[in-house]
Every structure is written in structure tokens, then in C-alpha cells.
Amino acid sequence: MRVVAGRFKGRTLHSPRGRDTRPTSDKVRGAIFNVLGDVEGLRVLDLFAGTGALGIEALSRGAADAAFVDTDVAVVERNLADIGGGGRAYRRDAFRWLAQADGRYDLVFLDPPYSSAPSLGERLTALLPAVLAQNARIVTESDKRAPLELGFPLEFERDYGDTRIRIHRV
């Protein structure tokens, strides 16, 4: 897995061993950022960060800052160190972090474990507004057979194999 574009283009990103983390493929990341367009100067939140690939891709393409939240951030920290920093990793449960977070984000990536995604929509819809900047966009990645449903206006939806990508605008 590599960074697709920007100043870190071609850099290899590390993944944890095993099958518990399912990194977003290069192809899907490229497609997401083609739809998003310019992310220069945006503040990014990568919840359920896993490897941090989505947030790191945003940093590579000019995002001003990125916060990475996951229960295990060792791989995110390693990937951030390899690109020279540019983000902060928080080893926390996503919901606890959202309940105590301060700051506003312009772009939020939500890529929870596919098995739990269908049960997370209501809680995320309730907690996210506290951290969203005006006109923020939320990108979700989930299994198309059991998608993550949020209560925000849908701007874009497309399936890539078994993966469903949705972009909501607040």
C-alpha cells in the first residue's frame, strides 16, 4: 500500500499483521480524492484510522492538519514518523474521543470495521456535529451489503467491488 498522490506520493504505508485491519486500497483512495478535489488547508479527522492511510493521503495532498483516532495507533504513528509527522494520533475509542474532542474539522473519514458499521450510524450522527466545521464533508467506507448509514445529506455514493463509499456534506 502506497500514498497515491501529493508530496508523499509513492511512500509505502505499513499495515498491521493479520486480518483485523482492512486498509483502503490505493484504487479506492484515489477515487475518493478525485471526488473530493482540493483538500489544501483543510483540518482532517480520520476516525477508526487503522493504518491512517486516508488521513495521510489528505496530508500528502496539502491538508493543514490531521487527527487520527483508533484503539491501536502504533501503525499510524509509524506511518506518520515515516512521512515526517504532520498529524496527531489518539489511542482512544472513537465515541469517547468525539464526546471530549475540541476543535472543528473540515473533512472527516469514517472507516469502521465492516462488521460493526451498520450499528454505528445513530451514535456517529449524534456526536459528529460537535466537531464539524461549516460545510464539512464526511467520507464513509463500509461494506455495500451492510453500509454505514448517517443522518447527513448525501452528496456522493459509489460502490467499488464490495466497498461502498459515501460522501456527506453538512
Residues in the chain, how many? 170
Across 98-113, average pLDDT: 95
44-70 pLDDT tens trace: 999 999 999 999 999 999 999 999 999
Residue 112 has pLDDT above 90, yes or no: yes
Residue 19 has pLDDT above 70, yes or no: no
Cβ atoms of 74 and 30 within 8 Å: the answer is no
Across 140-146, average pLDDT: 95
State what percent of residues in the chain have pLDDT above 90.
Answer: 85
Find, among 4, 88, 11, the residue nearest to 54 by Cα: 4
State what percent of residues in the chain have pLDDT above 70.
Answer: 96
Across 22-35, average pLDDT: 86
Chain-centre distance for alpha carbon 49: 6
Residue found under cell 453538512: 170
Q: What homologous superfamily does CATH list for 26-169?
A: Vaccinia Virus protein VP39 (3.40.50.150)
Q: What is the pLDDT of residue 18?
A: 60
Find, among 123, 121, 129, the residue nearest to 95 by Cα: 123
Any idea where the domains of the chain sit in the sequence? 26-169
Taking all residues of the chain, what is their mean pLDDT, rounded to a whole number? 93
Cβ atoms of 77 and 46 within 8 Å: the answer is no
Cβ atoms of 125 and 111 within 8 Å: the answer is no
pLDDT band at 21 (very low <50, low <70, confident <90, very high): low
